[in-house]
Amino acid sequence: MPLLEVRNLSVTIPTPEGDVHAVRAINLEIEKGEIHGVIGESGCGKTMTGMTLLGLAPKGARIVADSLHFDGEDLSKNAGRLRGRRIGLISQDPAAALNPVLSIARQMDDVLRAHRNMSRQERWAEASSLLAATGLPDPQRVLKSYPHQLSGGMQQRVVIAQALATGADFLIADEPTTALDVSVGAQVLALLRKLVSDRGLTVLMITHDMDVIAEACDRVTVLYAGLSVETGPVGEVLQQPGHPYTQALLAALPDAAPHGARLAAIEGSIPPPRSGIEGCAFAPRCPKAMPVCAMQVPPKRLAEAHRWLCHLPASAP
């Protein structure tokens, strides 16, 4: 049984201008001890899915799912109770996540007091230990510092330490390298892999970067217009993508174009979130689209643990 099981999750937000379909049909199965990546362009439902798992969907949102379970518990009822205790968040902007007027020691202590039954001395020792576990040199100095006195990479490590301080064993990392340069981002990804190995954590990695998927994740789910369109082991999805959208994402990578050639692009845009979808959501942008694609929902294709939606047969180029 997977640690997290999400089947046909939809999140609809009522507005005066009409319903916004932030998430239409998301499916996720995440095993304990893996890093599972979720990738797609802006507006595909990545962050809203993560917020729903945390019980932080917008007020008034209609959340419907065939299954929404974490370690056997129903998240539609218990997300608030599990947030922090079992499920933690690593935000994409550490500078915004940290309070600029409070020391790191105060911010770490606030988290530990809220989630752990410890004395003040024990909390200080635990905060120092957690900062050290994230690879921060001289954690005692870091505890006495304020966020502006730390680099972006150091701030992100503090945010990771805060997530660990709750005692959570499932972390949602929402684009944790977006605000960092390439080398520091690679260090943060290596740190997350180490923490998964050393502490038995499980991570849902939300990203728009295929390089992050390739470098850090064990499995990946590709989202498009609020739908899960492909999922499987990272190696199989990257080397033999089944869905035309995944193929287009990979073709648009800079390394995919010959030197000096024009980079590939995906023409068009995702369906507006207030519109309904008939047939395949990607059909208007797909170079392989057939008449049936605009009329019928694509069937599921399966190659062992690799699954995707498409009218094209699995053997099609």
Report the pLDDT value the prediction gives residue 317, as an integer from 0 to 100. 43
Cβ atoms of 311 and 280 within 8 Å: the answer is: yes
Cβ atoms of 38 and 246 within 8 Å: the answer is: no
Report the pLDDT value the prediction gives residue 92, as an integer from 0 to 100. 84
Report the pLDDT value the prediction gives residue 291, as an integer from 0 to 100. 95
DSSP β-bridge partners for residue 35? 203
Instruction: Return d(Cα 238, Cα 98) in angstroms, integer.
Output: 35
DSSP β-bridge partners for residue 9? 26
Report the pLDDT value the prediction gives residue 91, as an integer from 0 to 100. 86
Q: Which tokens sit at 241?
A: 């993508």
Report the pLDDT value the prediction gives residue 256, as an integer from 0 to 100. 66
Domain limits, the chain: 4-86+168-309
Report the pLDDT value the prediction gives residue 315, as an integer from 0 to 100. 53
Residue whose entry in the numeric block shows the structure tokens 């991570």: 203
Instruction: Return d(Cα 9, Cα 26) in angstroms, integer.
Output: 5
Return the axis-axis angle of helices 104-115 and 120-133, rounded to nearest 10°.
110
Q: Which tokens sit at 132?
A: 């050290």
Spell out, as residue ranges, where the chain has pLDDT lower than 50: 316-317
Q: What is the pLDDT of residues 155-202, one digit of tens each?
A: 999 999 999 999 999 999 999 988 788 888 999 999 999 999 999 999
Identify residue 63 by its one-letter amino acid code: I
Residue 47, CA distances (Å) to 41, 57, 125, 141, 284 in order: 11, 10, 34, 34, 24
Return the axis-axis angle of helices 152-165 and 120-133, rounded to nearest 10°.
130
Total-model pTM:
0.93
Instruction: Return d(Cα 142, Cα 135) in angstroms, integer.
Output: 12
Q: Is the dihedral of CA 20, 270, 89, 10 positive or negative?
A: positive
Give the total residue count for the chain.
Answer: 317
CATH 3.10.20.340 for domain 4-86+168-309: no
Instruction: Return d(Cα 59, Cα 61) in angstroms, integer.
Output: 6
